[in-house]
Amino acid sequence: MAANTPNQNTNMAIIGKPLDRVDGHLKVTGIATFVAEFNQPNMAYAFPVRSTIAKGSITGFDLILAEKSGGVISILTHENAPRLQPFDPLEIKKTGGFLAENLIPLQDNKVHYFGQFIAVVLAETFEEARHAATLVKVSYAKEKADADLNEALLKSSVREGAQLNKGQASAIIETSNLKIEQTYTTPAQNHHPMEPHAAIAIWDGADKLTLYDSTQVIVGMRNITAYFFKLKPEDVRILCPYLGGGFGGKSPAAHNILAAMAGKKINRPVKLVITRQMMQTNVGRRSPTIQKVALACDLQGKLTVIRHQNSSYSNLTDFSEPVGIQTQVLYNAPVREITHQIAKLDMNAPTYMRAPGHAVGSFALESAIDEMAYELRMDPVQFRILNHASTDPVKKINFSSNHLLECFQIGVEKFGWASRKIQPRQTRNGQWLVGYGMATSVHHGVRRPATVRIQLSNDGMATVMTASQELGTGTYTILTQTAADALGIAVGKIKVLVGDSDLPPAPFAAGSSTTASVNPAVLAAGELLRCELMRIAIADPKSKLNGRNTKDISFADSKLYLSSDISISDSYKDIMRRNNRETMQASATATPGGAASGATVAPCGPSMDQDQNYDTHKYSFHSFGAHFVEVWVDEDLGTIRVKRVTTVQDIGRVMNEKTARSQVIGGVIFGIGAALMEETVFDNRWASPVTRTLADYHVPVNLDVPPIDVHFIGKPDPHISSIGSKGVGEVGIVGVSAAIANAVFNATGKRLRNLPFTPDKLF
Ligand code: MOS
């Protein structure tokens, strides 16, 4: 405990503990209030009408029946909707916000994809709005829509994405004897968090807007909403205390703007909740991908070339799936070529989905690595170790930390990999063929600036405030833990406020960056508060610490005390009460690569410089891991059962053993879904998704999920921040579908290269 001084916080005692979620009880008892539950007096309900063509224009609406339908207040179409500030990518970039799809609804008669919002019915009840929406008649001038990725890739509209060493690999591949060249495909996948997207817009006059919005980007959403409606950012407030899941799908989307537009039109609060069916067409998806991987080796099994050629689609956004991303950091090879082709399809915009790029790119790369190992008759773990890149092979810089080899070693041991037979079809259990497979996971680590304000009250409570968001990943909980360590205050005396854009600015909850970004700011703000308390105590003749030196003082249990004599102490409450301080506040901005700034009270030591180690030119930041899976394959039916998973993750310091474990388990389950069932199927004639409910877009249920044994390396990353925690939200999904494919091959001798592995693909 003596390690804690007001200048330094080396004793992270609560950080790392498997603390139960501080919001867990509220959630399981239904007390936690989600966006759609903030009903307002005089609130109207909005139900969108969606286009039934994929491309063309609207030639007219017949609203007569719909307008006469019970409870209808108004119907907005492009003919009468408020005109917003036009979409200008440069201007929007300046706001610091973004829209997942570059399309503001109801501004013109153009249709860009099937299911586009083309009208919205406002009524007194949800049921009345939904019914009237079915009565809206639309006529169209229809054009032919592109929905087939293979066909679209042949067109001149194809553009190039990121390219690395294009064309450099083919000569060496052609002359290699030991090589594999294969094509892997992954389907379109859609977001299906438990909570569909929702918004409630409340206008206060014409120039103040409060928007309850289920978004993982509250500050960005505020900024673009202000832009579109020509408001001052400070006059827009986005509120989102809880999210029922996100993982990229809750990037700023059109329904929020539609709700605000409708509220403005009828001058009443408006609620708009996306239906499960709309999740398929209106909130982005992961693009299908076609990936060609070529690998060649020398006789010792060292990779001589890696080529990863990717195709995906994009539309109405600059975003495209960064499929080759893991191929830039895994494995040494003298020649490495990574290319991306992006076709235009007449579909809604693709967007971020858990571990963009990595999740699907690793399926191809890690399958191909397994195929190459079989060519060499080498154990796939051995093959990976032999070709391990201990420094970033493209950027030619060190990793900030990389314990992947240890992940392999622990995984091999915990899983019992040694009992695996290298040849396929060697293990059987009745009609089941049994196989073992493994794959590497990796996800980049990112930090962004974040500001945190902490308020201490003289009743002993501390409130931590930051405009971050709780996706359900544990943000409330780990911010509480960090504040407990930063202040030496019990967890139960700390309240965390996030999900309100009026709070000090924090980054969007994405890219597995929240923990690394926000927690250092909690430490910095906590340190400032301790300094302030210390200065007051030292100056106070009534304090036992009067006249002492800051460097001799430690803190714990809501007290400052003399490091050399714990009995010489003064409690935070007493210090504040004697000095008539009802509350005290401090805020600080933790800036990656720079000193903490924006301090509202004076620091008392040099530790505000703590995060200058974060330098992306010097270090390559990534979480790493390895998955080991056992599958059973029914030889008669082709059914695949994942029977157990062992996963070992190098995520730097583990902030909370329990929530981190849950993130990895969730990632693995997401990966099982991708491997075995998830697929958005389109009817290409209409460019329309036909998997419109959870009855046909399958996600794993309890019986699909085996025991998942999670291990962490737990070594703090010395460069990402003073806390040393890398990201954990996304790395867990990466490599899972390859590990399952590799296990299926080991079980059956059949190589599956097209996700998902439905029984028809097996035999
Ligand atoms: Mo994530 S796909 O960056 O929410």
pLDDT tens digit sequence for 62-104: 999 999 999 999 999 999 999 999 989 899 999 998 899 999 9
**Other beta carbons within 10 Å of 159:** 12
The pair of structure tokens assigned to 729 is: 């939200």
CA of 249 to the centre of ligand 1 (A): 8
Strand partners, 549: none
Q: Is the distance from the beta carbon of residue 246 to the nearest atom of ligand 1 less than 6 Å? A: yes
Question: What pLDDT does 182 receive?
Answer: 98
CA–CA distance from 96 to each of 249, 503, 507 (Å)?
Answer: 19, 16, 10
Residue 721 and residue 593: Cα distance in Å, rounded? Answer: 9
Q: Is the distance from the beta carbon of residue 444 to the nearest atom of ligand 1 less than 6 Å? A: no
218, 250, 352: residue to mutate for ligand 1 pocket, most atoms within 8 A of CB: 352
pLDDT at 1 over 60: no
Q: Is the distance from the beta carbon of residue 727 to the nearest atom of ligand 1 less than 6 Å? A: no
Query: Counting atoms of ligand 1 from 1, which one is nearest the CA of 352?
Result: 2
Residue 234 and residue 639: Cα distance in Å, rounded? Answer: 55
Q: Rounded to 5, what percent of the chain is helix, strand, coil?
A: 30, 25, 45
CA of 36 to the centre of ligand 1 (A): 22
CA 436 to chain centre: 29
Mean pLDDT (the chain, rounded): 95
| Helix 218-228 / helix 254-266 crossing angle, nearest 10 deg | 50
Q: Is the distance from the beta carbon of residue 510 to the nearest atom of ligand 1 less than 6 Å? A: yes
pLDDT at 460 over 80: yes
Q: Are strands 159-160 and 72-77 parallel, antiparallel or unpaired?
A: unpaired
197, 217, 247, 358: residue to mutate for ligand 1 pocket, most atoms within 8 A of CB: 247
Amino acid at 434: V
The tally of CA atoms less than 13 A away on the side-chain side of residue 147 is 22
Domains of the chain, start order: 24-30+448-609 (3.30.365.10), 39-144+194-245+250-280 (3.90.1170.50), 285-446+618-761 (3.30.365.10)
Q: Which residues are catalytic?
A: 730
Question: What pLDDT does 503 receive?
Answer: 98
Rounded to the nearest 10°, the torsion over CA 266, 272, 278, 279 is: 140
pLDDT band at 625 (very low <50, low <70, confident <90, very high): very high
The pair of structure tokens assigned to 211 is: 């928007």
Mean predicted confidence (pLDDT) in 520-537: 95
Helix (H) or strand (E) holding 711: strand 708-712
Q: Is the distance from the beta carbon of residue 354 to the nearest atom of ligand 1 less than 6 Å? A: yes
Helix (H) or strand (E) holding 218: helix 218-228
Block residue for tokens 């490495």: 336
CA of 352 to the centre of ligand 1 (A): 6
Which residue, among 337, 344, 333, has the nearest Cα to 167 in the 3D structure?
Answer: 337
Block residue for tokens 């064309």: 167
Q: Is the distance from the beta carbon of residue 284 to the nearest atom of ligand 1 less than 6 Å? A: no
Query: Counting atoms of ligand 1 from 1, which one is nearest the CA of 513?
Result: 3
CA of 286 to the centre of ligand 1 (A): 11
Query: Counting atoms of ligand 1 from 1, which one is nearest the CA of 248?
Result: 4
Block residue for tokens 């509209």: 157
Q: Are strands 619-620 and 398-399 parallel, antiparallel or unpaired?
A: parallel
Question: What pLDDT does 253 receive?
Answer: 85
Mean predicted confidence (pLDDT) in 248-255: 92
Q: Is the distance from the beta carbon of residue 247 to the nearest atom of ligand 1 less than 6 Å? A: yes
pLDDT at 605 over 70: no
CA–CA distance from 739 to each of 13, 357, 637, 667, 756 (Å)?
Answer: 36, 17, 21, 13, 13
CA of 508 to the centre of ligand 1 (A): 9
Cβ atoms 145, 346 nearer than 8 A:
yes
Strand partners, 185: 290, 754
Q: Is the distance from the beta carbon of residue 248 to the nearest atom of ligand 1 less than 6 Å? A: yes
The pair of structure tokens assigned to 542 is: 């009534």
Asked if omega into 507 is within 30° of 0 (cis), the reply is no
pLDDT at 8 over 70: no
CA of 679 to the centre of ligand 1 (A): 19
Instruction: Give the burial string for 286-310 (b: 16+ CB within 10 Å, else e).
Output: bbbbbbbbbbbbeeebebbbbbbbb
Residue 610 and residue 484: Cα distance in Å, rounded? Answer: 19
Query: Counting atoms of ligand 1 from 1, which one is nearest the CA of 509?
Result: 4
DSSP character for 163? -
3-state class (DSSP) for residue 25 = helix
Query: Counting atoms of ligand 1 from 1, which one is nearest the CA of 471?
Result: 4
pLDDT band at 10 (very low <50, low <70, confident <90, very high): low
DSSP character for 425? S
Long-range contacts, stretch 8-14, CB < 8 angstroms, 24+ apart = 8/605, 8/607, 9/485, 9/486, 9/523, 9/526, 9/527, 9/607, 9/722, 11/485, 12/485, 12/653, 12/723, 13/485, 14/481, 14/482, 14/484, 14/485, 14/491
Mean predicted confidence (pLDDT) in 535-541: 97
pLDDT band at 2 (very low <50, low <70, confident <90, very high): very low
Question: What pLDDT does 433 receive?
Answer: 98
Mean predicted confidence (pLDDT) in 125-145: 98
pLDDT tens digit sequence for 367-396: 999 999 999 999 999 999 999 999 999 999
The pair of structure tokens assigned to 331 is: 């494995």
351, 730, 733: residue to mutate for ligand 1 pocket, most atoms within 8 A of CB: 730
Q: Is the distance from the beta carbon of residue 437 to the nearest atom of ligand 1 less than 6 Å? A: no
**Other beta carbons within 10 Å of 429:** 9
CA of 509 to the centre of ligand 1 (A): 7
Mean predicted confidence (pLDDT) in 649-669: 98
Question: What pLDDT does 3 receive?
Answer: 43
Block residue for tokens 């400032």: 528
Where in 533-582 does DSSP place strands (E)? 553-556, 559-562, 565-571
Mean predicted confidence (pLDDT) in 685-689: 95
Query: Counting atoms of ligand 1 from 1, which one is nearest the CA of 353?
Result: 2
| Contact partners, residue 235, CB within 8 Å, separation at least 6 | 207, 208, 209, 226
CA of 30 to the centre of ligand 1 (A): 26
CA of 739 to the centre of ligand 1 (A): 22
191, 197, 250, 354: residue to mutate for ligand 1 pocket, most atoms within 8 A of CB: 354
What would you report as the CA-atom Rg of the chain, rounded to the nearest whole angstrom?
28
In which order are the strands placed within the sheet that holds 209-213? 72-77, 117-123, 44-50, 270-273, 198-203, 209-213, 236-239
Question: What pLDDT does 188 receive?
Answer: 98
Question: What pLDDT does 606 receive?
Answer: 57
**Could you give the ipTM of this predicted complex?**
0.96
Block residue for tokens 């040393």: 724
CA–CA distance from 405 to each of 85, 97, 402, 650, 731 (Å)?
Answer: 53, 39, 8, 10, 16
3-state class (DSSP) for residue 225 = helix
Mean predicted confidence (pLDDT) in 733-760: 98
